[in-house]
């Protein structure tokens, strides 16, 4: 009798966590490598679950694909590790239990630098070994990215008729990371070929049961659930799961009452949990009818109307100037506030503030932005970096910005901490700048990073960074196109220091409908010019500019004057090609920026009626 045939008339008990037990044994490196270097331990764990009453056990192959094994330099051992895992599970089962091959999801909230095509190639390689091992089914588990899971099922269905168990993971009960309701998601997985659909990991028994209350019985497939033992906790630096076996067992019965027919455990579960669950499940028949609890729809309120036109709309029509003024490195803020007021009164559309540029701490841009907006009615744009905040901090930060009405943001990766004042500090980088753009746009739909409804839509206009100071500009433009796909509304370039480069940018980007603001930053000295050219990522000066600044070296007044003159010459070209101009203020020298703003006005007066690229 096959696995699917057995599920027609029985509730089957699956095994629990493998990694939890290996971790408890002090084996915290590559768990899948244990199949070949400590096979005795793996066989022992399988045997303990079988002794506990498990009807179904899974191979120790959750991360046994080339992408995950590459972290340990084991990508060449995919076949060896998977074949060893199959042999160990079959030997332990001895023909009496079903053996299913575990295949873990790769993407989390972050899509990672690995493409979907590369993921499918790696999973196909692993799955081929598992299928050739003549096991009883494939278990796709811990999938947060619904597209990854869907495409994986389609790929597997093209190479095998073996039973497929497809399990999603949720951050919040009843809803996936992309906002899709669990009931709908499981129905879709059934339609594309999954034979058993369900959930595993992340949530404990309570929330897993809660999620299944809104799930209808599938037309053809069966339901599965592998909850964690509980929500995780940290004790003396170690991850623990506080859950008693009898509690888990009672939860297993409640899952059966929700129509689940394959019940196992994920993180934190042990043979004791499985033994307790089996004792209560063994005499229970499957549920064949069920009335699912209606999903309580939460009305998402529309975002409040913006007080000002989004810059990406204005710049398509007319001149628009963004001015950057970095917040202070110290606690004296009066000069910064006065500079921001002067620049805004001179006609800047918005005052931009970096987010601890060059990984050096400054006064919080959300704090200074709030002061400028609420006390001085100045429109501001903070940078949001991926470096300093994890996903929790990023979402909280953005929700705060929206709450105080700061709806203009620039999403950037952020300079690594090793270049800053605290090289011992860590860089977070939970997401890339592209992924951050997508997540911000998800907030605009009223959906949190985890898929949870936020009750109201945010109203962000999202700018993205553009570094044209590269050898091959076409590659930089390709990145722009990818950022557009992720939702970027417009681009802001690194400072440019040659007319030829501005012309090159125009020719390379004129096919794009997404506006670009060209960066211009006046130099203040030859010393700062050399620093920018040689040490600051993304900035390169022309030989001519360096020579002109060197000729003024030692005379501070003359150096600043020459820096403004160079910037004006660059503006002659920039304003003729682009509506968007981005002026970067060096060292709070906002007097220099004001001179350039006045020059832009002069040029616009001279060039009235001349059409430029947005």
**Cα–Cα distances in angstroms (integers) from residue 434 to residues 110, 427, 469, 480, 550, in the given order:** 10, 17, 19, 10, 39
Closest CA to 505 of 436, 434, 414, 582: 582
Other CB atoms within 10 A of residue 609 CB = 4
Closest CA to 223 of 173, 171, 274, 168: 168
Q: What is the DSSP letter of 293?
A: P
Q: Give φ, ψ of 159 to 5 degrees.
A: -125, -5
**Cα–Cα distances in angstroms (integers) from residue 276 to residues 108, 208, 281, in the given order:** 32, 18, 9
* Beta strand spans in 174-221 (E): 196-200
The answer for residues whose C-beta is within 8 angstroms of residue 246's C-beta and 6 or more apart is: 276
Spatial distance between the Cα atoms of 140 and 199, rounded to a whole number of angstroms: 10
Other CB atoms within 10 A of residue 598 CB = 11
Cα radius of gyration rounded to whole Å, the chain = 29
The answer for residues whose C-beta is within 8 angstroms of residue 184's C-beta and 6 or more apart is: none
SS3 content of the chain, % helix, strand, coil (to 5): 45, 15, 40
Spatial distance between the Cα atoms of 596 and 583, rounded to a whole number of angstroms: 8
CB 335 within 8 A of CB 588: yes
CB 59 within 8 A of CB 102: yes
The answer to the question of whether 201 is labelled as a binding residue is yes
Closest CA to 140 of 201, 84, 73: 201
Other CB atoms within 10 A of residue 397 CB = 19
Q: What is the dihedral of CA 376, 464, 385, 600, to 10 degrees?
A: -40
In terms of C-beta density within 10 A (0-12 exposed, 13-18 middle, 19 or more buried), how is residue 19 classed?
Answer: middle
CB 295 within 8 A of CB 183: yes
The answer to the question of whether 552 is labelled as a binding residue is no
The answer to the question of whether 266 is labelled as a binding residue is yes
Binding-site residues for Zn(2+), in ranges, read: 201, 266-267
Binding-site residues, in ranges, read: 201, 266-267
């Amino acid at each position: 009798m096959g696995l699917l045939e057995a599920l027609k008339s029985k509730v089957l008990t699956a095994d629990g966590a493998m990694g939890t037990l290996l971790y408890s044994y002090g084996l915290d490196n590559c768990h899948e490598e244990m199949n070949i270097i400590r096979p005795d331990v793996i066989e022992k764990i399988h045997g303990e679950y079988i002794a506990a009453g498990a009807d179904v056990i899974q191979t120790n192959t959750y991360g046994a694909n080339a992408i995950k094994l590459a972290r340990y330099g084991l990508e060449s051992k995919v076949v060896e590790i998977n074949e060893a895992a199959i042999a160990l599970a079959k030997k332990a089962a001895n023909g009496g239990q079903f053996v299913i091959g575990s295949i873990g999801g790769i993407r989390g909230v972050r899509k990672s630098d690995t493409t979907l095509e590369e993921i499918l190639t790696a999973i196909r390689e692993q799955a081929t070994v598992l299928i050739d091992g003549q096991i009883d089914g494939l278990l796709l588990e811990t999938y947060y990215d619904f597209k990854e899971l869907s495409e994986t099922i389609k790929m597997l269905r093209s190479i095998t008729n073996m039973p497929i168990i497809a399990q999603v993971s949720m951050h919040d009960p009843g809803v996936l990371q992309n906002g899709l309701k669990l009931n709908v998601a499981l129905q879709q997985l059934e339609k594309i070929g999954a034979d058993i659909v369900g959930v595993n990991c992340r949530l404990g028994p309570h929330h897993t049961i809660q999620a299944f209350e809104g799930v209808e019985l599938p037309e053809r497939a069966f339901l599965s659930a592998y909850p964690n033992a509980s929500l995780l906790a940290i004790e003396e630096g170690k991850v623990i799961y506080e859950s008693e076996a009898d509690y888990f067992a009672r939860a297993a019965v409640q899952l059966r009452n929700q129509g689940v027919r394959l019940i196992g455990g994920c993180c934190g579960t042990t043979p004791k949990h499985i033994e307790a669950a089996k004792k209560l499940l063994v005499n229970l028949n499957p549920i064949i009818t069920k009335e699912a609890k209606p999903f309580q729809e939460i009305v998402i309120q529309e975002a409040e109307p913006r007080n000002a036109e989004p810059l990406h709309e204005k710049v398509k029509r007319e001149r628009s100037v963004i001015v950057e003024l970095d917040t202070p490195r110290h606690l004296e803020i009066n000069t910064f506030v006065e500079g921001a007021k002067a620049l805004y009164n001179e006609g800047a559309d918005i005052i931009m503030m970096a987010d601890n540029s060059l990984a050096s701490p400054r006064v919080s841009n959300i704090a200074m932005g709030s002061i400028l907006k609420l006390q001085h009615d100045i429109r501001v744009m903070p940078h949001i970096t991926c470096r300093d905040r994890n996903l929790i901090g990023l979402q909280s930060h953005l929700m705060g910005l929206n709450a105080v009405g700061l709806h203009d943001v620039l999403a950037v990766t952020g300079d690594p901490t090793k270049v800053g004042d605290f090289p011992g500090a860590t860089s977070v980088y939970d997401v890339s700048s592209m992924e951050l753009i997508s997540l911000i746009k998800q907030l605009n739909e009223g959906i949190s990073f985890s898929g949870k409804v936020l009750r109201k839509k945010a109203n962000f206009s999202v700018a993205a960074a553009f570094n044209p100071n590269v050898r091959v500009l076409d590659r930089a433009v390709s990145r722009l196109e990818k950022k557009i796909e992720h939702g970027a509304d417009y681009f802001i370039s690194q400072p440019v220091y040659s007319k030829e480069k501005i012309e090159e940018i125009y020719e390379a980007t004129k096919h794009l409908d997404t506006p670009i603001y060209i960066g211009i930053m006046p130099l203040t000295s030859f010393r700062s010019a050399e620093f920018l050219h040689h040490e600051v990522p993304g900035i390169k000066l022309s030989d001519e500019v360096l020579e002109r600044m060197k000729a003024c070296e030692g005379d501070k007044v003359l150096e600043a004057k020459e820096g403004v003159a160079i910037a004006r010459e660059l503006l002659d070209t920039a304003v003729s090609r682009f509506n968007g101009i981005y002026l970067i203020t060096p060292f709070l020298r906002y007097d220099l920026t004001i001179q350039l703003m006045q020059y832009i006005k002069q040029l616009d007066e001279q060039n009235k009626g001349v059409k430029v690229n947005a």
